[in-house]
């Protein structure tokens, strides 16, 4: 799940005006015309974040999902925390092996998410452990 507050560099209790002013600053900073192609992902994320958080109804719904998400990540049984560049690599992609022998695969989608969230959680497909991957 993408934390749009993180994208707009605000906390969950930020006011509408605060979100709006951060959005305006960030959208200028990351505009593809100014910053080159590599940050256009970020540009779209900022627009997406404002589309949700700028709308009081959508924001309320998002807040509920986000709280659920964080209560989930707080309760996971963490196997390990690894940096993305410390992962092993095979023909299927980047991975870390779990204690049970299962593999935590870090897909490209997850890596894109990681850039905005700074941490992602991957559940082991075979046991109850979760791997935390950081930048
Ligand atoms: Zn496992």
Which of 13-22, 81-90, 116-125 shows the lowest mean pLDDT across its residues? 116-125
pLDDT at 10 over 90: yes
Q: pLDDT for 111-122, tens place per residue?
A: 988 888 888 888
Neighbour tally for 22: CB within 10 Å = 20
Percent of the chain with pLDDT over 70: 94
Please name which of 70, 127, 133, 84 lies closest in space to residue 102, comparing C-alpha atoms: 127
Residue 75 Cα to ligand 1 middle (Å): 16
Residue 25 Cα to ligand 1 middle (Å): 43
Residue 99 Cα to ligand 1 middle (Å): 6
Q: pLDDT for 43-78, tens place per residue?
A: 889 999 999 999 999 999 999 888 877 776 777 788
Q: What is the pTM of this model?
A: 0.55
Residue 104 Cα to ligand 1 middle (Å): 8
Dihedral pair phi/psi, residue 38, rounded to 5°: -60, -25
Angle at 62 between CA 119 and CA 107, to 5 degrees: 35
Neighbour tally for 37: CB within 10 Å = 8
Residue 97 Cα to ligand 1 middle (Å): 8
Residue 65 Cα to ligand 1 middle (Å): 26
């Amino acid at each position: 799940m993408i934390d749009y507050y993180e994208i707009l560099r605000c906390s969950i209790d930020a006011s509408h005006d605060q979100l709006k002013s951060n959005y305006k600053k960030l959208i200028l900073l990351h505009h593809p015309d100014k910053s080159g192609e590599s940050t256009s992902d970020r540009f779209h994320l900022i627009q997406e974040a404002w589309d949700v958080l700028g709308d009081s109804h959508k924001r309320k719904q998002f807040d509920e999902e986000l709280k659920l998400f964080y209560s989930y990540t707080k309760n996971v049984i963490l196997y390990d925390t690894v940096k993305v560049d410390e992962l092993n690599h095979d023909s299927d992609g980047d991975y870390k092996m779990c204690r049970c022998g299962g593999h935590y695969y870090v897909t490209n989608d997850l890596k894109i998410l990681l850039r905005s969230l700074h941490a992602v959680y991957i559940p082991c497909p075979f046991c109850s452990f979760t791997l935390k991957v950081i930048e």
